[in-house]
Amino acid sequence: MTNKPNFRTMLALSGLILASTTSLALGQMSVTTVTDLNIQAGPGTEYPTVGMATRGSAGTLDGCMEGSNWCRIDVNGMRGWVYAENLSVDQGGQPMIIEEHRVDLGVPVVTYETTGSVAGAANPQPGDELLGRVGEVNPRSWSAPI
């Protein structure tokens, strides 16, 4: 008597393998940066740069936008957007560029929504919280308009 797997066993194993690869595709993916790159605050170079990732940095890919090659990642403690041609995924010891293999890898789709600015007082009033870039706001030099 031989211990050959029967059809049902093979079918069950195939289902488990398919389920495990599908769950990876629907969740976050581990990626590596293929070059030094800027991490943008939004999906485009017109958004501010929040930091830089050096070539070979490990990160986590949330997904890429539909109809665009901008992808949202977490890398080096930063969360932002990078272009898909700058990211690779390891598949069986072979790096695969996200841009070239997006469909094959099952990269999730993410969205980006621009929010409008909140209308407020044009001039700060006493007691208002002062917001701005570091170095631009000096609360000691601010005085209420007369």
Instruction: Find tokens 């930091």 and name the residue.
Output: 51
pLDDT above 70 covers a percentage of the chain that reads 60
Closest Cα partner for 60 from 29, 91, 33?
29
The residue extents of the domains of the chain are 24-108
Q: What is the CATH number of domain 24-108?
A: 2.30.30.40
Say what the pLDDT of residue 60 is: 95
Q: Of the given ranges (23-32, 37-46, 55-64, 84-93), which has the lowest mean pLDDT?
A: 23-32
Q: For 31-57, what is the mean pLDDT? A: 95
Q: Give the pLDDT confidence score for residue 14 in this predicted structure.
A: 41
HEC string of the chain equals CCCCCCHHHHHHHHHHHHHHHHHHHHCCEEEEECCCEEEECCCCCCCCEEEEECCCCEEEEEEEECCCCEEEEEECCEEEEEEHHHEEEEECCEEEEHHHHHHHHCCCEECCCCCCCCCCCCCCCCCCCCCCCCCCCCCCCCCCCC
Average pLDDT over residues 109-135: 63
Pairwise pLDDT comparison (128 vs 98), residue with the higher score = 98
The tens digit of pLDDT for each residue in 101-117 reads 989 899 999 988 876 55
Query: Mean pLDDT across the stretch 66-76?
Result: 93
Task: Give the pLDDT of residue 7.
Answer: 47
Q: What is the pTM of this model?
A: 0.60
| Predicted pLDDT at 125 | 63
Q: 62-86 burial, b if ≥16 CB within 10 A, otherwise e? A: bbbbeeebbbbbbbeebebbbbbeb
Largest CA distance in the chain: 99
Question: What pLDDT is stored for residue 134 in this prediction?
Answer: 52
